[in-house]
Amino acid sequence: MASSTSLLVAIFFCISFLFFLSVDANEVTVGGKSGDWKIPSSSSFSFNEWAQKSRFKVGDSIVFRYEAGKDSVLQVTREAYEKCNTTSPKASYSDGNTKVKLDQSGPVYFISGTEGHCQKGQKLRLVVVTPRDSAFSPAPSPSEFDGPAVAPTSGAATLTGAFAFLSLVLGFWTLF
Percent with pLDDT over 70 in the chain:
61
* Contact call for residues 114 and 39 (beta carbons, < 8 A): no
Residue 102 is predicted with a pLDDT of 97
**Cα gap 174→140, rounded to integer Å:** 43
Residue 3 is predicted with a pLDDT of 61
Question: Any idea what the CATH number is for the domain that residue 78 is in?
Answer: 2.60.40.420
Position 83 in a domain:
yes
Residue 64 is predicted with a pLDDT of 96
Residue 25 is predicted with a pLDDT of 77
Residue 157 is predicted with a pLDDT of 47
Residue 166 is predicted with a pLDDT of 53
Position 7 in a domain:
no
What range defines the domain where residue 55 resides?
26-152
**Cα gap 140→51, rounded to integer Å:** 14
Residue 162 is predicted with a pLDDT of 55
* 98: phi then psi, degrees, rounded to nearest 5: -90, 125
* Contact call for residues 56 and 30 (beta carbons, < 8 A): no
Position 3 in a domain:
no
Position 169 in a domain:
no
pLDDT per residue as tens digits for the range 21-36: 444 679 999 988 777 8
Give the global pTM: 0.64
**Cα gap 174→52, rounded to integer Å:** 46
Number of domains the chain is built from: 1
Extract the residue ranges of the chain whose pLDDT is less than 70: 1-24, 132-176
